[in-house]
Amino acid sequence: MKTTIVLSVLSAAMLLTACGGGSEEAREKKMEAEAAKHGVDADVELDDNGDVASVRINNGLGATVGSNLDLPDGFPSDVPMDGGWSIISTSAVPGQQDGFMVQAMSDESVADLAEQAQRDMTAAGWSEIAADNPTPQMSRLGFEKDGRMTNYILMDAGEKTSIQVVTMKKPG
């Protein structure tokens, strides 16, 4: 449900961007007002071309959606994130002070990304605790280190691969 609202707001923001007109600040305010009509408190940032660079949803989780986003402040430095990924969403994990969820897109295949994650996480001192391929188009990987866990879900999304990385303290 929240994902649908976020995507709707982002779509509306992009449509408003296409309308042009006014200063960058005025256009950002118009998009934020449109989001508010849908009950979403958002901060919109435009890039130098006047396109939507990011939309930060103020829901207490610090969710941000956009393209080519930066990793959130405090993201663990020992969780390797490939520089070639286009990060499209970041948020906190509910109930986890140091938990993060990052969604990205890549041109690499599911198999290549799974192999890369296994190699990079192991090199960073993580132990692989789970791996499966429920379908040929999907791979799930789990790692643990120092009372923390990191999970990857990799899915074929047509011409791109969708990547979800969740890292947080182990429950219990």
Please give the Cα distance from 152 to 48 (Å, whole number): 33
For the segment 20-48, the average pLDDT, to the nearest whole number, is 79
- Check pLDDT > 50 for residue 107: yes
For the segment 90-118, the average pLDDT, to the nearest whole number, is 91
Q: Is there a contact between 72 and 140 (Cβ–Cβ < 8 Å)? A: no
- 39: pLDDT confidence band, cut at 50, 70 and 90? confident
Instruction: Read off the DSSP letter of residue 3.
Output: H
Q: What is the pTM of this model?
A: 0.73
For the segment 143-158, the average pLDDT, to the nearest whole number, is 96
- 94: pLDDT confidence band, cut at 50, 70 and 90? confident
For the segment 24-52, the average pLDDT, to the nearest whole number, is 81
Burial code of 45-82, b = ≥16 C-beta within 10 A, e = fewer? ebeeeeebebbbbeeeeebbbbbebebbeeebeebbbe
What 3-state class would DSSP assign to 143?
A: strand
